[in-house]
Amino acid sequence: MTAIRAEKITRRFGEFTAVDGVSFQVEAGEIFGFLGPNGSGKTVTIKMLCGILPLSGGDAWVDGIDVRADPDSVRSRIGYMSQKFSLYDDLTVLENLRFYGKVYGLGGAKLERKIEEIIEQNNIRPYVNRQAGKLSGGWKQRLALGCALLHEPHILFLDEPTAGIDPVARRQLWDLLFELSGRGITFFVTTHYMDEVERCSHLAYLYYGKLIADGTPAALRHLPDMTPPGTHRVEITTEDVTSALRTARTLPAVRSATIFGRSIHALIEDSVSGNELGEILRRKGYDVEDIRSLAPSLEDVFVELTDRRQKELETPA
Amino acid sequence: MNAFRGLRAMIYKEVLHAVRDRMALVFSFIVPLFQMIILGFAIDTNVRQVHTVVYDQSGRSQSAGAQDAGTSESRAFLDRFRNSDTFHIRKFVHSDEELNEELIAGRARVGIKIPVDFARDLVNGDSAQVLVLVDGSDSAVAGQALTVSSQIALDESLSRLLPEHAPAPIESRPKILFNPASRSPNFFLPGMLAVLLLFVTTMLTALSVVREKERGTLEQLLVTPVKPLALMLGKIAPYFALGVSELCALLVFMRFVFQVPIHGDALLLTLLSTCYLFVNLTLGILISTKANSHPEAMQLSMMIMLPSLFLSGYIFPRENMPLIFFLLSYVVPATYMVDISRGVILRGAGVTELWIDALVLASMGVCILLFAAKRFQKMIV
Ligand SMILES: Nc1ncnc2c1ncn2[C@@H]1O[C@H](COP(=O)(O)OP(=O)(O)OP(=O)(O)O)[C@@H](O)[C@H]1O
Ligand SMILES: [Mg+2]
């Protein structure tokens, strides 16, 4: 079943086109990662799909409902967590939950039961009587997610849900997302964290209003010519990565190279093997510990896609 | 029913906000009361006890330059000034220079100069001259001083011409209706109600919605099935309650602190005023569909409040306005409120006289509310 379908959706602000003819399809139960640099139009896309920003062009269906025709029905079936914390700071956790429950028409024993369930699920019991504004970042996000879940939406839009929270809280939030996704809820998530990208079941990459990649992580990794013909990728682990990187980049056989932790990821020409590159670096005085060949990481993929797109834009048509 | 979906949730939340922010609420409740106290005591448009300085040369022999000038005639004439409520003789001076100086320095607003031959002319039956200098920098004072001093001269002349105890041929007996004592508070406070109520309604509602815009909570609300009408009415509700209590408090203050009698039915006044409160609240909502920040909301509220101050007839009588302003005053809600409040309080008017004002206000409110709801739907947050 299709949860979200976008057909050439476009949003213009005056002369400026923030989202330009974007099409994609998200199946029910997927965790759809929507990526792109700052200002590429992710939030604008989400707002259009949630029915709070009218489309300038194109069509979209959310949970089978035409967003243009019936935004009200869409709203009662989705949950939305905006990029910025947007619950009431002066209300307590419990009051925020009650308010959102009432907004969705819940009441009485049903509401209390649902709130109880959300508190349990999000582990927020110790904080129920604390004002939302006084919670730390991670708890705020749990509360926001809890509020978005109260009315049992089929689809959840999470705009950078983990921005600015610590790794443990991030891990816990993702565990919860997986659990909910297992129950059939569809997630539309934006993020800038590559480890989170790897957890998604479906990815799309938006670059300044244009969709330039769409597929499963595996499919994106194996996109033809992600590793151009006549080249291959290697990972070189060494003590002194920064200066080794500088040196590696001066070698003619090295097309590109970046640092990942204690190692260098390099795209090199087939004329040189990984071991030969290691030898060259050793001769220059680097203590190379390990060399292995490498499939492109998703980050490699996005960097490559971005580079290409930029080159396309620079060369006049 | 469906158009109001989410109204109960909104009211629940707004009540919580109000309880959390009790201080702000109390503060906004007290401010108009203070304004009424300050303005109520400060405004007195009746001109009384104008500082007056006298140079009485009458009967002075030109050569001697005696200090104790004045004759029984000049003193009798000056007593008439003293007995009028308008003038307060503070000082006698002894030269033209001194007289001028008092006026220029602003220590006196009126200077009276009685010439040397005042008594002699009167006795001889010639026309005696008196010079009355009036400071024109305050037109109300100048006008009043002019009228009263001419009146005094006329009275004095008549009493000298007519035989003792003879009645004046014509006597005008003016009677001021509705406000017999011509007390300024009686006239100004009822009108002031309209202006003071603006603050706790228009501006606070606008700010309350704009605050939600700034915090991003409005965006979150718009993704829920809450209907714009429910959202707006929920926002209006607490300030409506505040407005009604404010009105009652102001009425109590007016009646018992300023002793302004309410000739009509206070309950009716409160009832009719709710229409006015409603319009102001919807205006606040309308402002919030335009303004995106606190300062913007304040400026727009001011833009609405100023015409209310000047066009409603609270300060300047509407009948004397240039035609364009007179016509404009018909779209200013405060105009109708000033009419209602002066009507009930001063003239004891009832529903039969005032229903039309209330109807105009109520229709304005509904129109603005629907228009704001339309804008709300199209608003991009
Ligand atoms: N209401 C608006 N009016 C005018 N321009 C807007 C509006 N909303 C967004 N934009 C513009 O649209 C572009 C896309 O913005 P958007 O917020 O969707 O980016 P984003 O991909 O979410 O970025 P980030 O990663 O920083 O959140 C930006 O250039 C932004 O300035
Ligand atoms: Mg964004």
| pLDDT tens-digit series, residues A98-134 | 999 999 999 889 999 999 999 999 889 999 999 999 9
Asked whether residue B166 is domain-assigned, the answer is no
Question: CA B276, CA A36: separation in Å to the nearest integer?
Answer: 51
Average predicted confidence (pLDDT) for chain B:
87
Residues across chain A: 317
Q: Which residue of B has its CA nearest to A104?
A: B225
Is B335 in contact with B318 (CB distance < 8 Å)? yes
Asked whether residue B57 is domain-assigned, the answer is yes
Question: CA A80, CA A189: separation in Å to the nearest integer?
Answer: 10
Inter-chain residue contact B16 with A91, CB threshold 8 Å: yes
Nearest to B13 among A80, A86, A99 (CB): A99
Residue of the CA atom closest to atom 30 of ligand 1: A39
Strand partners, A245: none
Is A111 in contact with A94 (CB distance < 8 Å)? no
- Supply the pLDDT for residue A301: 84
Per cent of chain A over pLDDT 90 is 58
| Packing angle, helices A93-103 and B7-20, rounded to 10 | 160
> How far, in Å, is the centroid of ligand 2 from the Cα of A142?
19
Task: Choose the residue to mutate in A22, A34, A43 for probing ligand 1, maximizing ligand atoms within 8 Å of C-beta.
Answer: A43
| Interface residue of B12, B13, B223 to substitute, partner A, most A CBs within 10 Å | B223
Residue of the CA atom closest to atom 26 of ligand 1: A38
pLDDT at residue B381 is higher than 70: no
What count of other Cβ atoms lies within 10 Å of the Cβ of residue B293? 12
Which residue among B161, B195, B210 closes a domain?
A: B161
Ramachandran angles phi, psi of A21, nearest 5°: 55, 50
Inter-chain residue contact B9 with A103, CB threshold 8 Å: yes
B237 shares a domain with B152: no
Asked whether residue B80 is domain-assigned, the answer is yes
Inter-chain residue contact B224 with A103, CB threshold 8 Å: yes
Is B209 in contact with B218 (CB distance < 8 Å)? yes
pLDDT at residue A165 is higher than 70: yes
- Supply the pLDDT for residue B270: 95
Using DSSP bridges, classify how beta strands A57-62 and A65-66 pair: parallel, antiparallel or unpaired: antiparallel
B95 shares a domain with B64: yes
| Interface residue of A16, A52, A90 to substitute, partner B, most B CBs within 10 Å | A52
pTM: 0.80
B308 shares a domain with B186: yes
Residues of the domain holding B213: 2-43+182-380
Which of the 8 DSSP states describes residue A162? T
* pLDDT tens-digit series, residues B131-142: 888 888 887 788
Structure tokens at A152: 């049992």
Which of B89, B83, B90, B92 shows the shortest CA–CA distance to B152?
A: B83
Is B211 in contact with B284 (CB distance < 8 Å)? no
Q: Which residue's structure tokens are 């005085």?
A: A285
* pLDDT tens-digit series, residues A6-44: 999 999 999 999 999 999 999 999 999 999 999 999 999
pLDDT at residue B65 is higher than 80: no
Ramachandran angles phi, psi of B107, nearest 5°: -75, -20
- Supply the pLDDT for residue B67: 53
Question: CA B48, CA B191: separation in Å to the nearest integer?
Answer: 23
Nearest to B216 among A84, A98, A104 (CB): A84
Asked whether residue B167 is domain-assigned, the answer is no
* pLDDT tens-digit series, residues B228-269: 889 999 999 999 999 999 999 999 999 999 889 999 999 999
pLDDT at residue B64 is higher than 60: no
Atom of ligand 1 nearest to the CA of A11: 12
Which residue among B161, B192, B218 closes a domain?
A: B161
B372 shares a domain with B295: yes
Residues across chain B: 381
Structure tokens at B337: 């409120």
Question: Which residues, in sequence order, are CB contacts of B150 under 8 Å at separation 6+?
Answer: none
> How far, in Å, is the centroid of ligand 1 from the Cα of A9?
15
Inter-chain residue contact A105 with B380, CB threshold 8 Å: no
CATH number of the domain bearing residue B149: 3.40.1710.10
Residue of the CA atom closest to atom 24 of ligand 1: A38
Inter-chain residue contact A105 with B16, CB threshold 8 Å: no
- Quickly list H helices, chain A: 42-50, 71-77, 93-103, 108-122, 137-149, 167-182, 194-199, 217-221, 241-250, 274-283, 298-314
pLDDT at residue A57 is higher than 70: yes
Structure tokens at B72: 């029984």
Count up the domains in chain B and report the number.
Answer: 2
Structure tokens at A115: 């709130």
Cα A4 to the center of its chain, rounded Å? 16
Asked whether residue B276 is domain-assigned, the answer is yes
Which of the 8 DSSP states describes residue B343? I
Query: Shortest Cα distance from A48 to chain B (angstroms)?
Result: 11
B69 band by pLDDT with thresholds 50, 70 and 90:
low
* pLDDT tens-digit series, residues A229-240: 788 888 888 888
Query: Shortest Cα distance from A46 to chain B (angstroms)?
Result: 11
Question: CA A106, CA B106: separation in Å to the nearest integer?
Answer: 72
- Supply the pLDDT for residue B255: 92
Inter-chain residue contact A103 with B21, CB threshold 8 Å: no
Cα A1 to the center of its chain, rounded Å? 22
Inter-chain residue contact B9 with A99, CB threshold 8 Å: yes
Is A99 an 8 Å CB contact of chain B?
A: yes
Residues of A in contact with B378 (CB under 8 A): 54
Torsion (CA) A99, A105, A110, A111 in degrees, nearest 10: -10
Q: How much of chain A is helix, strand and coil, in % rounded to 5?
A: 40, 30, 30
Q: How far apart are the first and last CA of chain A?
A: 39
B365 shares a domain with B299: yes
Is A88 an 8 Å CB contact of chain B?
A: yes
- Report angle CA A150, A151, A157 to the nearest 5 degrees: 85
Atom of ligand 1 nearest to the CA of A16: 5
B102 shares a domain with B144: yes
Is B273 in contact with B345 (CB distance < 8 Å)? no
B49 band by pLDDT with thresholds 50, 70 and 90:
confident
Q: Give the DSSP H or E segment for B301.
A: helix B294-311
Nearest to A102 among B12, B216, B222 (CB): B12
Residue of the CA atom closest to atom 19 of ligand 1: A39
B361 shares a domain with B321: yes
Question: CA A206, CA A209: separation in Å to the nearest integer?
Answer: 6
B156 shares a domain with B27: no
Which of A233, A205, A236 shows the shortest CA–CA distance to A297?
A: A233
* pLDDT tens-digit series, residues B287-343: 999 999 999 999 999 998 888 888 998 888 888 889 999 999 999 999 999 999 999
Query: Shortest Cα distance from A65 to chain B (angstroms)?
Result: 15
B58 shares a domain with B15: no
Q: How many CB pairs under 8 A join A and B?
A: 63
Query: Shortest Cα distance from B350 to chain A (angstroms)?
Result: 42
Full DSSP string of B40-95: HHH---S--SEEEEEEE-TT--TTT--SS---HHHHHHHHHHHHSSSEEEEEE-SS
Q: Which residue's structure tokens are 């030109």?
A: B62
B269 shares a domain with B125: no
Q: Which residues of B touch chain A, with CB atoms under 8 Å apart?
A: 5-6, 8-10, 12-13, 16-17, 20-21, 215-217, 219-226, 378, 380-381
Nearest to A86 among B21, B220, B226 (CB): B220
Per cent of chain B over pLDDT 90 is 44
Q: Which residue's structure tokens are 């915090």?
A: B215
Q: Which ligand is nearest to the CA of A39?
A: 1
Q: Between A285 and B205, where is the model more confident? A: B205
Query: Shortest Cα distance from A102 to chain B (angstroms)?
Result: 5
- Supply the pLDDT for residue B163: 75
Asked whether residue B295 is domain-assigned, the answer is yes
Question: CA B220, CA B217: separation in Å to the nearest integer?
Answer: 5
Question: CA A124, CA A126: separation in Å to the nearest integer?
Answer: 6
Strand order from edge to edge, sheet including A231-238: A254-260, A263-269, A231-238, A288-293
Inter-chain residue contact B220 with A80, CB threshold 8 Å: yes
Enumerate residues lining ligand 1, CB below 6 A: A 13, 18, 36, 38-44, 83; B 380
Which of A276, A247, A245, A244 shows the shortest CA–CA distance to A258?
A: A245
Question: CA B133, CA B103: separation in Å to the nearest integer?
Answer: 9
Strand partners, A6: A24, A60
Query: Shortest Cα distance from A75 to chain B (angstroms)?
Result: 6
Is A128 in contact with A119 (CB distance < 8 Å)? yes
Structure tokens at A24: 């994609």
ipTM: 0.83
Question: CA A253, CA A237: separation in Å to the nearest integer?
Answer: 18
Strand partners, A269: A231
> How far, in Å, is the centroid of ligand 1 from the Cα of B222?
18
Which of A71, A63, A78, A91 shows the shortest CA–CA distance to A4?
A: A63
Residues of A in contact with B380 (CB under 8 A): 53
What count of other Cβ atoms lies within 10 Å of the Cβ of residue A293? 10
Asked whether residue B143 is domain-assigned, the answer is yes
Residues of B in contact with A85 (CB under 8 A): 216
Q: Give the DSSP H or E segment for B36.
A: helix B22-42
Task: Choose the residue to mutate in B213, B292, B380, B381 for probing ligand 1, maximizing ligand atoms within 8 Å of C-beta.
Answer: B380
Residues of A in contact with B216 (CB under 8 A): 82, 84-86
Question: CA A80, CA A83: separation in Å to the nearest integer?
Answer: 10
Strand partners, A4: A26, A62
Ramachandran angles phi, psi of A10, nearest 5°: -140, 140
> How far, in Å, is the centroid of ligand 1 from the Cα of A57?
17
- Supply the pLDDT for residue B62: 54
Q: Which residue of B has its CA nearest to A81?
A: B220
Q: Between A43 and B86, where is the model more confident? A: A43
Asked whether residue B175 is domain-assigned, the answer is no
Is B344 in contact with B264 (CB distance < 8 Å)? yes
- Report angle CA B368, B234, B295 to the nearest 5 degrees: 65
Which of B7, B2, B14, B3 shows the shortest CA–CA distance to B239?
A: B14
B88 shares a domain with B58: yes
Structure tokens at B370: 């629907």
Is A140 an 8 Å CB contact of chain B?
A: no
Ramachandran angles phi, psi of B292, nearest 5°: -110, -10
Which residue among B102, B131, B161 closes a domain?
A: B161
Q: Between B377 and B100, where is the model more confident? A: B100
Question: CA A307, CA A296: separation in Å to the nearest integer?
Answer: 15
Q: Which residue of B has its CA nearest to A87?
A: B217
Winning range, highest mean pLDDT, from A260-264, B65-69, B266-270, B315-319: B266-270
B80 shares a domain with B33: no
